[in-house]
Structure 1
């Protein structure tokens, strides 16, 4: 795993073994197979995420194929995953569930060992039934409780002065969905809210370190239009800088 190491010209170095770099290694995991769904274009949003994060790290995008959760040397893991289409997992199209369970266990272990995770949007629905994965995320979509109004212009209201990710940023304006009714762990620190059509606030951005690493979850990112927002881009860059600090 890449770790912060020393100072250089006011910045820092990252080290894996004897290899030094001024930039962290960032892997965007793009949902495919049992980690995709029919409502999200994972390829487009993962590409958009990679473009936004390129100024702050060395970014690669990987599809969630068997073996993709080998995280040796990864400084930041970006999760852009979804909930599988009903019947896909049962058909074992991409292998038996036991193999995938071991891979998810490896991801959870990596995160608990100090790994940094940025999770977006539909990742709150990913890997259903795994409490350990939910612990790493710091919150979850709850079937029958969570939902969202029609996609459109929206605002994410941010807590100011409480965390480096949001301090003095004010808010995020984007074309996106407003996830409402998410279940947030009591150990997570909520940093942003969306409002439903009745004006009620709902947590949509938080951080957690309770599992042993650092995670930022943002409910934004339904499609590529969201990542065109300058304020959304700024939020993501701030999140990455905090996660790898």
Structure 2
């Protein structure tokens, strides 16, 4: 059985807008239905100790980085080095929603993910019923989907690398905003901007997208 490590935001990587514990629990249930065992760990400095995952899922964002709260940037270097080592060894990564705003103390994260939330530029309309358009239906991640509908946020004007392979877009005022893409990597890396809270995963098409992502990342 494949094993996924779900990194749920905690401390400096947990924001007040996302219930990462609830989302991580829902993800673990979906993974189990697809024959993937899951370990959920909060983003603590030792979160990557003694793990050997086949997939890393990042459901973390941006929290408080002040040293008195959660350590200094130097204290977190081993965590980021361990994550980079996993990726370098070929472990695939799925970054979800607020992951575009995570790990700001490690600029290489945005490069690997293929984009980031740009403060003052990126934004989203109010959460609500949203339709996301599949740009490339030929890719295994979007197989069988023409649109994805969910109660969710539409991230707009993300800072996106020109090297990504865009799979899904959010259309707003005549502009297509990339929200799901295959990133440069190294290795297999997917960013998926959907998934503000568990209600997103009540949508069959959103669940299918997530399952397709996991299956492709695991090489199934």
TM value normalised by structure 2 = 0.93
The within-5 A match list for 1:139-218 is: 139-196=115-172, 198-208=173-183, 210-218=184-192
Counterpart contact for 2:13–2:60, Cα < 8 Å: yes
Asked if 1:226 corresponds to 2:194, the answer is no
SS in 2 for 1:68: coil
2:61 matched residue in structure 1: 82
Q: 1:138 and 1:70, CA in 2 relative to 1: closer, same or farther beyond 3 A? A: farther
Counterpart contact for 2:115–2:161, Cα < 8 Å: yes
TM value normalised by structure 1 = 0.84
Largest Rg, 1 or 2: 1
The offset of 1:105, in angstroms, is 2.3
Counterpart contact for 1:113–1:212, Cα < 8 Å: no
2 CA distance for matches of 1:167 and 1:33? 36
Aligned residue-pair number: 218
SS in 1 for 2:30: helix
1 CA distance for matches of 2:135 and 2:197? 24
Moved more, 169-178 or 42-51: 42-51
Q: 1:160 and 1:190, CA in 2 relative to 1: closer, same or farther beyond 3 A? A: closer
Residue 16 of structure 2: which of 18, 23, 38 is its match? 38
Q: 1:106 and 1:137, CA in 2 relative to 1: closer, same or farther beyond 3 A? A: same
SS in 1 for 2:69: coil
Structure 1: 5+ residue runs without aligned partners? 1-22
2 CA distance for matches of 1:186 and 1:229? 30
Counterpart contact for 1:138–1:187, Cα < 8 Å: yes
Counterpart contact for 1:27–1:74, Cα < 8 Å: yes
Residue 67 of structure 1: which of 35, 46, 65 is its match? 46
The offset of 1:159, in angstroms, is 2.5
Counterpart contact for 1:33–1:64, Cα < 8 Å: yes
Counterpart contact for 1:31–1:63, Cα < 8 Å: yes
Deviation per CA, 1:128-155: give whole Å up to 9, x if none.
1422111221111111111001110001
Counterpart contact for 2:136–2:166, Cα < 8 Å: no
Residue 121 of structure 1: which of 87, 90, 97 is its match? 97
RMSD: 1.5
Counterpart contact for 1:50–1:59, Cα < 8 Å: yes
